[in-house]
Structure 1
């Protein structure tokens, strides 16, 4: 193949928890059709189904190694990443591994708890679930479960997701995130019972607004697009009271202590992730036939 015809772009598609590359079959075919020969569309396959339960850090390293092998074979110069829901956590671990050697272009998340900013537990407001979620999470989702609910590690050590919103000794996570030229969040404004709008779009409660009911021209379910510049900050840390709250949330959970702990962690991670600019795309499936499937609908899996 001539150098002029050699693909320069490597868009990498990464599925969510308990899923497989087949989730991307439709999107992969459409992207190949629309983007042309200069792009090689690659769907990750290293973390299928229960492999996502082995821990965000372990799954993220597998993803990093997988992409590195693909890059070595094809020698692409630009990498784009599109993550679905949970897989945005793997991206954060993965880009920490790639940061020193790779050039990034775009980072996109569908429902992107991308952050990574908050965890699934933060959008749970039912008291019985708040009491039970942290203790039973490891039994339901392995080591990944304790990481998602911020109870991993020693009480006096920052949980993994907090470290992912900053640069700590074990990884320059935030610097790696800043290596992308563009960061995009796709969030459901309603009917997403897996990941709330606030979590998906990295917004505080006070930053939410009444979403428009009408879609933007040319986009059936997109109701708003906003560019948010970075906000300078000292970055997140683990306050002493958070360490005590973390231990209580793990060993003797109750609604009040768990909620207080999550609110502290939410603000700390928010300050870290809002240091960079984000393009935020808000979607609404209120007019869809099955609006309650918004979490799945935002990621098109079939025609």
Structure 2
């Protein structure tokens, strides 16, 4: 099958799955290409596309549906010389109960096809950086690395970061972020043909990655006027300045920024650190003693770092500050996705990992999405205009009290102020939020490590999450490659 025909097929699939409903007018395919296309489709055998590009459209979940999903199929038109593609909606219970490993094997074809279209030499031109969390190592990604390589094809260079292993994660988010940035730069310098870059980070690694991309960010721009990309480049603040367009990361085009169970809002406050069981006295004691166990990283996670009159690091990282262009760097990525455990995560609470207020949390669905076991909900959150985060005088006063004479009242008051400011800053950008629930897993209390399959034997409940991540990456890869080649 020629590359041009394959390009047309993948592009049509990309266009058809770009929305939530079938197109009004099916796309015709000349009869001279029908046999080649039929053969191509038969060998693709992939799960349905899970939303091409990172468009901010309504919630897709099981909350108010019965598992409806979009399924592409081939149908004959009234003309004998053409075939048309259309999309139907319905439940595919047979596919839902297939093994995820079988689905992973069957989805490799499309990944390789996209690679061959975008890069005829089959040299990787998309760098995907995997970043582990606290006390982690490269071994944390053994399963995910192998699975992503198999699913994504040769167009991706998957690199597992090793600059912040084990106790190096205690030296502070800023220090670890700078080391990660240096490591990424070295990879880029040593590897030819790289054009795009994405990050996939687990837990604390997501904060390291957020700091690193600010270090790597530059205002150099690349062309984003291909069809459809402007829809994803959403305007971020109330002054009309675009926070989601332009800029490069390590000299490459930023595509995906994905985090798994990352404490974006820190770990202060009710149920943000679940192993404390929400007990006020334990939450009160945790902040002062955290630096003794996990160093500067601990005080930064508990928002008590720095002098009383200076905003904590995580608040500064919710905007463009003197420390770096944190929000602009995040906004440069075409797609930002956060995966959050809704329960059973003893390290990171649902609210902080999904960047939501307590009032924004609702009862999650208990039914998994078709083909992705334990993935229960996907929500597309458009940007919310804001003047950005601030550190008002009442926050200064509350921080001083929380540092010098912590008690339940002043620590809760301080965290509520800072948390809301962080949310206002980060919600200036659009996010795709994916909720994960391991309530039905054999070992649900391993949720924090299940979500990225830290160990294939102990944490294999998370293979559906990795499958969802891989398909999200494939879709964004297709949307970034195809318009440029048409």
Aligned to 1:45: 162
Structure 1 residues not aligned, in runs of 5+:
none
TM superposition shift of 1:250: 1.2
Q: Secondary structure, in 3 states, of the residue corresponding to 1:5?
A: coil
Aligned to 2:377: 224
Aligned residues: CA RMSD: 1.3
Aligned counterpart in structure 2 of residue 71 of structure 1, from 164, 171, 188: 188
Aligned to 2:204: 86
TM superposition shift of 1:3: 7.1
TM superposition shift of 1:161: 0.4
Q: Secondary structure, in 3 states, of the residue corresponding to 2:268?
A: helix
TM superposition shift of 1:129: 1.7
Counterpart Cα distance in 1 of 2:139 and 2:215: 26
Instruction: Answer yes or no: is the 8 Å Cα contact 1:81–1:107 preserved in 2.
Output: yes
TM superposition shift of 1:218: 0.7
Q: Secondary structure, in 3 states, of the residue corresponding to 1:295?
A: helix
Aligned to 1:263: 416
TM-score by structure 2 length?
Answer: 0.60
Counterpart Cα distance in 1 of 2:148 and 2:451: 16
Counterpart Cα distance in 1 of 2:438 and 2:180: 31
* Superimposed CA distance per residue, residues 88-112 of structure 1 (whole angstroms, 9 cap, x where no aligned partner): 1111110001111442110101112
TM-score by structure 1 length?
Answer: 0.96
Counterpart Cα distance in 1 of 2:351 and 2:306: 26
* Superimposed CA distance per residue, residues 245-271 of structure 1 (whole angstroms, 9 cap, x where no aligned partner): 111111211111001000001000000
Larger Rg belongs to: 2
Counterpart Cα distance in 2 of 1:291 and 1:121: 23
Aligned counterpart in structure 2 of residue 155 of structure 1, from 297, 308, 320: 308
Aligned to 2:174: 57
Q: Secondary structure, in 3 states, of the residue corresponding to 2:311?
A: coil
Aligned to 1:110: 260
Aligned to 2:476: none
* Superimposed CA distance per residue, residues 144-203 of structure 1 (whole angstroms, 9 cap, x where no aligned partner): 111111111111111100000011122111111101100001011111121111111111
Aligned to 1:172: 325
Counterpart Cα distance in 2 of 1:59 and 1:3: 37
Instruction: Answer yes or no: is the 8 Å Cα contact 1:130–1:258 preserved in 2.
Output: no
Matches within 5 A, 1:26-37: 26-37=143-154
Counterpart Cα distance in 1 of 2:303 and 2:387: 21
Structure 2 residues not aligned, in runs of 5+:
1-118, 219-250, 457-486
TM superposition shift of 1:293: 1.3
Counterpart Cα distance in 2 of 1:272 and 1:152: 19
TM superposition shift of 1:127: 1.3
How many pairs were matched up? Answer: 299
Deviates more, 1:198-207 or 1:270-279: 198-207
